[in-house]
Amino acid sequence: MMEYKNRRCALCTLLAVILAVAVVSGISVWVIIHGAPRTTKYMVVLDAGSTHTALYVYKWNDREKADGRTNHHLVRRIEQIANKYCEKKGFASYADSSAIPGKLESCLAYAMEHVPTSHAPSTEVHVGGTAGLRLLRSDNMTAANGVLDAIRDGIRNYSTFQLVPENVRIISGEEEGFYGWATANYLAGTFPMFQSSNFSELVNSTISKTPYGFLQLGGASAQIAFTPPNPFREFSNDSSKYHVPADIFGEDVQLYSQSFLCHGLKEAARTYRATLIAEQNFPIVIDPCFPRGGQIETNDSHLFGHHYCSGEFNTTLKGPKGELYLVGSGDYQGCREAVFRLLKKTSCSDPDLECSLKGIRRPVIQGPFLAFSGYYHVIKVFQYLAKKNTSEHSVNLNEFRNVTKQHCSVPFEKLEEIFEKQNLTKKLINYMETFCFTAIYIDTVLTSGYGFNETTFANIRFLKDVEGTEFGWPLGLVLQVTMSRNNTKQESSTTVW
């Protein structure tokens, strides 16, 4: 009997061991199948632009390894969960930077609402000053640093987010182009490790097998980034070359990224008018890009003096308070000629290479492109004027030029009648009044500047966002920051969730 009990106990012990092993094995299998536990991460990015400051909040999941480190090669779906305009001037235009922290208060409170309290202390804030602050730095380094310090004070005072002082900085134009290119191709799903099931439907086209080029037109600068067909040895400007490592985007990419300061819409318009006034040097200045019969009143302090982009021009013909007047002539061809001079292509000296804005050499344009910001808004006005389907994202260049030419010839008085009859918003009225200039400007930059023609122009898709996530540099910065923080070797396969 005792022997039986001992055998039974031994059997129980054996079963218990087997069960324990099975349980442990089961858990091990679960871990192998399901991977390490996920941790939710957040990041806040402030885009301190020339015409406004915008805030974005991003969210994604990381997987933690057994040693506690994050596996940044496991691809996450980074989601833009919130965005908000903090102010609509651009911090570079503030005469007194002490007002800046207060401008950030409501914006940061909005961000805090979208990040759980427990995550806030570990949530990084990144601030990128773009062309407006690059211009201010060129004029007054002390003032630019004062703006950055004021932004840091605002983050400290009105949030509990993690602030690393070096993460509040002025980014270069080439960085802006690189980050924008990364955003565009992440959302488009053109990298092997990223997928976008809805993008092809959005642009009414199959997803490109090669990365999209990126076109951005802001208030103070213009950016272009794409993968060129030829090696970089032809080009001497090192700042316009980026090598994208395989451990960041799953691709080994040679990227051309170039920024053109002073060639954003706002600064281009300022320089254009300053040029007209200086060239004509007459009390009544004729503006070929403004509707015939319309009048613009401006001020010498707005056009001349301390402005980096137009400071080289001046005039003595102004009113007692510095007032200046331009009268529109609605001259399509005259407008094209005046706008072309803004590109400053006469300085091109190498006949064997393509020449871009300001005489800077560039690779030959190839592949599909995505264009956003100023390009997108101008194309929306074109579609309105042409009575076209606003869901279309590509444009026929000849049709665009025909509509522009027709609009440029409409007298200002006729435009006012249209405004009154159609009860248009103030914003759309402003876009229509300036459409002759803006349309010819983007046409000239894209064709004479970057080398697009009738065929390749059709390869550009003009977009604002993809399912609520905006095209722009902030998401690209998040991608670069999160995915470059990896000290381990590339995994043999990529996990997507």
Q: How far apart, in whole angstroms, are the C-alpha atoms of residue 291 and residue 436?
A: 8
Residue ranges, comma separated, of all CATH 3.30.420.150 domains in the chain are 172-466
DSSP reduced 3-state for 63: strand
Task: Residue 404: name the closest of 333, 465, 497, 460 by CA.
Answer: 333
Kindly state the percentage of the chain with pLDDT values over 90: 40
What are the distances in angstroms from CA 459 to CA 213, 381, 427, 444?
Answer: 10, 20, 29, 17
Instruction: For the domain covering 33-171+473-497, report its CATH number.
Output: 3.30.420.40
Which residues fall in the annotated binding site for ATP?
219-223
All residues at 6 or more sequence positions from 310 whose CB lies less than 8 Å from its CB, including other chains: 267, 270, 271, 274, 275, 303, 304
Q: What is the pLDDT of residues 333-382, one digit of tens each?
A: 999 999 999 887 765 655 555 778 877 777 888 889 999 899 999 999 99
Q: What is the pLDDT of residues 263-320, one digit of tens each?
A: 999 999 989 988 898 888 777 889 999 999 999 888 766 677 666 777 666 665 555 5
Domain 172-466: CATH superfamily, name plus number: Exopolyphosphatase. Domain 2 (3.30.420.150)
Confidence band, pLDDT 50/70/90 cuts, at residue 494: very low
Residue ranges, comma separated, of all CATH 3.30.420.40 domains in the chain are 33-171+473-497
Q: What is the pLDDT of residues 25-45, one digit of tens each?
A: 443 332 333 444 568 999 999
Does this model's pTM top 0.85?
A: no
Which residues fall in the annotated binding site?
219-223
Q: Is the dihedral of CA 6, 10, 13, 19 positive or negative?
A: negative
Confidence band, pLDDT 50/70/90 cuts, at residue 403: very high
What are the distances in angstroms from CA 390 to CA 203, 373, 377, 383, 442?
Answer: 12, 16, 11, 6, 19
pLDDT value for 72:
42
**DSSP designation for 489:** P
Contact, 212 vs 185, CB < 8 A? yes
220 class by beta-carbon count within 10 Å (0-12 exposed, 13-18 middle, 19+ buried)? buried
Q: How far apart, in whole angstroms, are the C-alpha atoms of residue 209 and residue 207?
A: 6
Q: Which residues are catalytic?
A: 176
